[in-house]
Amino acid sequence: MRPLLSRLFLFIATVLLATTAQAQTPSLDIDNLSTFKGAKKVVIDQFGVEFVSVLKARGQGGGSSANIDAALEGVSDAAMQALTDRAYQDTIAALTKAGFEVVSADELQAQPQYQQLMAKVAHDSPYVVDDKGAYSRIFAPTGMKAVFRSGSDLRGTMGDRMDAFNSKTQGEFSEVAKSLGLHLLRFHYLASFGTTTASKGFLSSFTGKARASIEAGPTLLAKSTMVQVISHDGARLFANSPRGANATVCLDAPFTVKAEGYVLEETTTAESKRSDGVANALSIGLNLLTGGRGASQTSSKTMVVKLTEDNFHESYTRMIGQARDAFVDKLVAAR
């Protein structure tokens, strides 16, 4: 009887695990993909994996602040480059298996007009993106240039956003694509080792409490994880975000997979804690002297996630692969 029950429990557990795995599918936002109809020959002219190395959580409320910086450690540039190269080759294989004729980028890169356009937007790889929410670097496949891509007006520098959202440049890329009978595909993955939450806005100011937190785990961030299409339709004016393309399929929610090794460890120094304590004590004292209603408080922490390169490669490759397959499925359905 017991062996039978054991087999039954094992069967139920297997079914539950399979159901859970199937439920972990990326949630997508699709914009103007009808422009891809009839596409047969495609070329991946831009491909980037943007690895977040530092997450910054900044909470505010009632004059108080809560700040957390978390860094990724244990993963070398060589490991990031190797993962990018593999993701690129896997994408070519997935598109080919789906029935697309994937043309080498060499034909495109030989065009003088294309060279001039890329000179406006391309950078040596890896390309640094340092903004309020994170410090990251865009890795391109070996031999290719890195290009900033974003679905948010809040990421990157003003110059980055102007390049990424420029409809005139997008229209000129479209002319090149049409002259060669190609559709250009641009894959971008904003890959993080965690996510941030922080208090902000009127309610947090009213309550006077500042909160910030970081949750560790391999995550593709929404809106800026995408595949964009440059079709034969010319410049797209007055388009909704994400801009800079004729069509876009992007994540509309963060996509996380379960993985081992993602543990936050606090590394805040004693000196930093003393500094916060002194500042907070002075704020309380000043508040008492002036009869203020509340003293501002500051809380600053530093943390780290230490990964082995094996854990990094397995979890990120699996996560990016699931998003890629979801993107390719939508391209197949639209062609």
Whether residue 102 contacts residue 331, with contact meaning beta carbons closer than 8 Å, is answered with no
Per-residue pLDDT of 108-119, as tens digits, reads 889 999 999 999
Question: β-pairing, 64-73 with 298-306?
Answer: parallel
Per-residue pLDDT of 174-197, as tens digits, reads 999 999 999 999 999 999 999 999
| CA distance readout (Å), 64 to 60, 273, 284 | 6, 16, 12
pLDDT at 250: 96
> What's the rounded Cα separation, in Å, for the pair 315 and 39?
32
Whether residue 318 contacts residue 257, with contact meaning beta carbons closer than 8 Å, is answered with yes
pTM score of the predicted model: 0.84
Rounded average pLDDT per 10-residue block, the chain, 335 residues: 47 41 77 94 97 92 83 98 98 98 91 95 96 93 95 84 88 94 97 90 56 94 96 78 81 95 90 55 50 60 95 97 98 96
* Distant-in-sequence, close-in-space partners of 323: CB < 8 Å, separation ≥ 6: 26, 189, 220, 225, 251, 255
Helix axes 77-97, 309-334, angle to 10 degrees: 30
pLDDT at 283: 47
pLDDT at 200: 72
> What's the rounded Cα separation, in Å, for the pair 161 and 320?
24
pLDDT at 11: 46
Q: Beta-strand (E) ranges in 62-182?
A: 64-73, 101-102, 122-123, 127-130, 134-139, 146-147
Residue with tokens 């390049």: 163
> What's the rounded Cα separation, in Å, for the pair 261 and 315?
10
pLDDT at 198: 84
pLDDT at 101: 97
Query: b/e string for 117-148 if b means 16 or more Cβ within 10 A?
Result: bbeebbeebbbebeeebbbbbbbbbeebbbbb
| CA distance readout (Å), 297 to 25, 36, 138, 225 | 41, 53, 36, 36
Residue with tokens 């914009």: 31
pLDDT at 243: 66
